């Protein structure tokens, strides 16, 4: 066979020539417009997987996330996406799927939990695990907490893979077990023993949402920070005795006085970048009276801040809690017979610390407020979530989310510190920047009993689909390779 006529040779020659000729043009050429997902197809598939996931009863306790995890594994593997199952209890697996990037940036973690809170079947019009579609809604436990995020995460992986999107960073999907009260089988296991598999620069999880009122989008909350739950125990001791002979040292009387003082006490206002931005931006979309309060509590005038803070406590207690370390006496125990003065009585305080709170100083301030040597003040052994690191609002991650909020919801983004705790605390402790996002929900639905952890749960189909597109924009912005191929 003649070398000059070899097809391989000619092909190579043509390629070299083409590359040579095309080079000046290529240098000016922009990267080709990325191929967009086929949205009608994505929506149909989103609904199919969403209903399938809602139909697994993953009530926690006991959890039993295995059928949901198996389902995810099978769907991902069918697509050729490698999956790892990690568990310490066979019925409570975590699913980790990874799409490899070119490694020029650190990974993006998309996480969501497969377990749901318990249901009272009597409260449900449509059975809680039926995933019934009616009137534009899908009904089912987990519809907004958190199988919406699970299915959106799944669709991110499937779509990235199918479009063969070149990635600057690994995209990792974690479907975790045990978020609703058994973190040892879920996020604690993953962050403690398997961190290298989910180690990421950014993480997207639940904890935010877009609020609609009267069907109109009002604002988007992106959770950038959360308070740290701790328990404090008050223990009053005194002499025991016969109830017919009252004693000054009665432990119950001392405890009651201490609880009353703690109840009236409010720790100083402690702001951070998130809460400052939150109140500032919220003021921009509020009534003049509300705006005045929000601006006052972040303002420099101490007296005005204090007055506005008092109003918030009455009118908007969640906002008052966001301003500080909060203390709420929630359990009180003592005494066992009506004719016996007990020698001990206890109260448990639910403390939600503002990030950066000094725990020793906090205990000291409570001791000063109670001012009673008969009452001991100490942190209880209750398991708590770790202190969260500083979350930046000027990061590439937060900016990508803000841009996607504007594009899909055309509204303001409120960086939000949640008063409750989420699994993101464990991930943030590792240094990952975590952002909690979620679909648009009707404000009115909460009062009607259709919200997360409510008697029933539902999501608007149109909002589930909008959320998937919103999340796609964020993921694409953060992970799609910017290198010209
Ligand atoms: Zn949740």
- Which tens digit of pLDDT belongs to each residue from 265-311? 999 999 999 999 999 999 999 999 999 999 999 999 999 999 999 99
Res. 330 pLDDT band, cuts 50 70 90: very high
pLDDT beyond 90 at 7: no
* Strands 171-176 and 83-86, bridge-based pairing: unpaired
Q: Answer yes or no: is pLDDT of 228 > 80.
A: yes
Q: If you count DSSP H runs as helices and E runs as strands, how many of each does the chain have, helices first?
A: 16, 19
CB 473, CB 165: distance < 8 Å: no
Closest listed residue to residue 171, CA positions, set 484, 483, 482, 478 = 478
Q: Name the β-bridge partners of 378.
A: 233
Compute the distance between CA of residue 456 and CA of residue 120 in angstroms, rounded to an integer: 9
How far, in Å, is the centroid of ligand 1 from the Cα of 176? 11
Confidence of residue 452 (pLDDT cuts 50, 70, 90): confident
- Decide if pLDDT at 18 tops 80: no
pLDDT band at 44 (very low <50, low <70, confident <90, very high): very high
Specify the higher pLDDT residue, 263 or 12. 263
Cα–Cα distance, 379 to 363 (Å, whole number):
8
Confidence band, pLDDT 50/70/90 cuts, at residue 168: very high
Q: List, in sequence order, the alpha helices (H) in 29-65.
A: 39-54
pLDDT of residue 16: 41
Ligand 1 midpoint to CA 225 (Å): 16
| Kind of pairing between the strands at 133-134 and 209-213 | unpaired
356 neighbors 396 (Cβ within 8 angstroms) = no
Cβ–Cβ contacts within 10 Å for residue 63, how many?
22
Question: Looking at residue 41, what is its pLDDT?
Answer: 97
Q: Do residues 171 and 101 lie in contact, with contact meaning Cβ atoms separated by under 8 Å?
A: yes
**Main-chain dihedrals φ then ψ at residue 204, nearest 5 degrees:** -110, 135
* Rounded Cα distance, 177 and 58, in Å: 9
Across the chain, mean pLDDT equals 92
pLDDT digits over 415-449, tens only?
999 998 889 999 999 999 999 999 999 999 988 98
Nearest 5°: phi and psi at 458? -155, 165
**What is the whole-number distance in angstroms between the Cα of residue 249 and the centre of ligand 1?**
46
- State in Å: Cα 209 to ligand 1 middle: 12
Of 419, 436, 402, 441, give the one whose Cα is nearest residue 210. Answer: 441
The number of CA neighbours under 13 Å toward the Cβ of 458 is: 25
Contact 187, 428 (CB under 8 A): no
Other residues' Cβ atoms within 10 Å of the Cβ of residue 333: 12
Decide if 166 contacts 485 (C-beta within 8 A): yes
Prior bond of 128 cis (ω within 30°)? no
- Residue 105 token pair: 């940036």
Sorted by sequence, the CB contacts under 8 Å of residue 90 that are 6+ apart come out as: 66
> Token digits for 129?
């695990």
**What would the mean pLDDT of 209-236 be, rounded to a whole number?**
96
Structure confidence at residue 1 (pLDDT): 36
Q: How confident is the model at residue 111 (pLDDT cuts 50, 70, 90)?
A: very high
Q: How many angstroms does the Cα of residue 5 sit away from the middle of ligand 1?
A: 66
Is the pLDDT score of 187 beyond 90?
A: yes
Distances (CA, A) of 458 to 160, 220, 437, 444, 452: 28, 19, 17, 12, 9
* CA 333 to ligand 1 center in whole angstroms: 31
Distance 442 CA to ligand 1 centre (A): 18
CA dist 114 and 176 (Å) reads 6
- Binning pLDDT at 50, 70 and 90, where does residue 34 land? confident
* pLDDT higher than 70, residue 385: yes
Contact 62, 116 (CB under 8 A): no
Measured in Å, residue 114 CA sits from the centre of ligand 1 at 9
- 401-409 mean pLDDT: 98
Q: Name the band, by pLDDT with cuts 50, 70 and 90, for residue 482.
A: confident
Query: What are the backbone angles phi and psi of residue 327, rounded to the nearest 5°?
Result: -135, 120
H or E element, residue 95: strand 94-99
The least confident of 318-327, 343-352, 389-398 is 389-398
Instruction: Give the residue-averaged pLDDT of 115-134.
Output: 96
With tokens 């006490």, the residue in question is 265
- DSSP helix/strand/coil, 177: coil
* Residue that wins the pLDDT comparison between 2 and 33: 33
In angstroms, what is the span from residue 296 Cα to ligand 1's centroid? 33
So what's the pLDDT on residue 381?
A: 72
What single string gives the DSSP state of each residue in 138-159?
EESTTTTTTHHHHHHHHHHHHH
Average pLDDT in the 19-43 region?
69
Radius of gyration of the chain (CA): 27
Run of H or E including 195 = helix 195-198
Cα 222 to ligand 1 centroid, rounded to whole Å:
15
Whether the pLDDT of residue 388 is over 80: the answer is no
**Residue 374 pLDDT more than 80?**
yes
Residues 26-48, buried b or exposed e (16+ Cβ, 10 A)?
eeeeeeeeeeebeeeebbebbbe
């Amino acid at each position: 066979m003649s070398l000059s006529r070899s097809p391989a040779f000619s092909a190579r020659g043509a390629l070299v020539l083409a590359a040579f000729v095309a080079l000046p043009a290529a240098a000016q050429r922009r990267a080709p417009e990325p191929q967009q997902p086929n949205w009608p197809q994505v929506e149909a598939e989103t609904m199919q997987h969403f209903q399938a996931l809602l139909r697994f009863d993953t009530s926690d306790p006991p959890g039993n996330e295995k059928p949901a995890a198996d389902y995810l594994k099978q769907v991902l593997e069918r697509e050729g996406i490698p999956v790892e199952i990690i568990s310490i209890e066979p019925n409570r697996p975590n699913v980790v799927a990874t799409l490899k990037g070119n490694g020029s940036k650190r990974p993006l973690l998309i996480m969501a939990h497969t377990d749901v809170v318990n249901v009272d079947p009597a409260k449900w019009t449509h059975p809680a695990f039926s995933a019934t579609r009616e009137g534009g809604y899908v009904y089912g436990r987990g519809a907004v907490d958190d199988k919406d995020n699970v299915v959106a995460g799944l669709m991110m992986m499937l779509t990235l893979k199918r479009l063969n999107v070149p990635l600057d960073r690994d995209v990792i999907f974690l479907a975790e077990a045990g978020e609703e009260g058994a973190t040892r089988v879920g996020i604690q296991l993953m962050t403690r023993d398997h961190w290298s598999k989910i180690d990421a620069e950014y993480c997207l999880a639940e904890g935010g949402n877009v609020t609609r009122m009267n069907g109109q989008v009002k604002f988007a909350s992106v959770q950038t920070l959360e308070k740290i739950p701790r328990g404090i125990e008050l223990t009053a001791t005194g002499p025991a005795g016969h109830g017919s002979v009252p004693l000054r040292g009665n432990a119950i009387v001392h405890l009651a006085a201490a609880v009353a003082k703690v109840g009236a006490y409010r720790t100083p206002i402690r702001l951070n970048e998130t809460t400052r931005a939150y109140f500032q931006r919220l003021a921009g979309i509020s009534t003049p009276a509300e705006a005045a309060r929000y601006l006052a509590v972040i303002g420099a005038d101490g007296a005005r801040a204090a007055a506005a803070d008092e109003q918030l406590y009455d009118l908007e207690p969640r906002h008052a809690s966001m301003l500080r370390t909060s203390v709420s006496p929630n359990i009180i125990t003592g005494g066992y017979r009506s004719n016996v003065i007990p020698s001990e009585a206890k109260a448990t305080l639910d403390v939600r610390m503002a990030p950066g709170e000094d725990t020793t100083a906090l205990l000291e301030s409570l001791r000063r407020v109670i001012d009673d040597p008969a009452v001991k003040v100490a942190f209880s052994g209750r398991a708590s979530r770790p202190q969260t690191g500083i979350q930046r609002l000027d990061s590439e991650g937060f900016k990508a989310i803000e841009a996607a909020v504007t594009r899909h919801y055309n509204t303001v983004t409120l960086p939000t510190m949640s008063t409750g705790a989420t699994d993101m605390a464990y991930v943030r402790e590792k240094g990952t920047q975590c952002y909690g996002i979620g679909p648009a929900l009707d404000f009115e639905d909460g009062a009607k009993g259709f919200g997360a952890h409510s008697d029933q749960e539902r999501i608007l189909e149109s909002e589930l689909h909008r959320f998937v597109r919103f999340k796609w924009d964020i993921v694409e912005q953060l992970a799609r390779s910017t290198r010209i191929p």
